[in-house]
Amino acid sequence: MEPIAQQKPASFVDRRSNTDTPNPGVPERRQFQNTYNEERPEVAELARAVDQYKLLHRRRFITFEELYDVIAGLGYHL
């Protein structure tokens, strides 16, 4: 094992330069991107609504209160 002073530094990987995203430089905020369940349309509708809310409000994660607002916005109520 080499002494610490002689070890080569690890190479830096800039993950922000990923060209697979549709808008380079804009972070991906969709949580359910590839997991929409088409067998249950109400689940897919909720997933799309949450993704849209996150994009609109520039949020990576949402709180339970925000999730409730999304569900209520879809017309569901207690």
Which pLDDT tens digits describe the chain residue by residue (78 residues)?
Answer: 556 556 666 676 666 665 555 555 555 555 555 556 677 888 889 999 999 999 999 999 999 999 999 999 999 987
Listed residue (25, 76, 35, 28) closest to 54, CA to CA: 28
**pTM score:** 0.55
Alpha-carbon span 42 to 48, nearest angstrom: 10
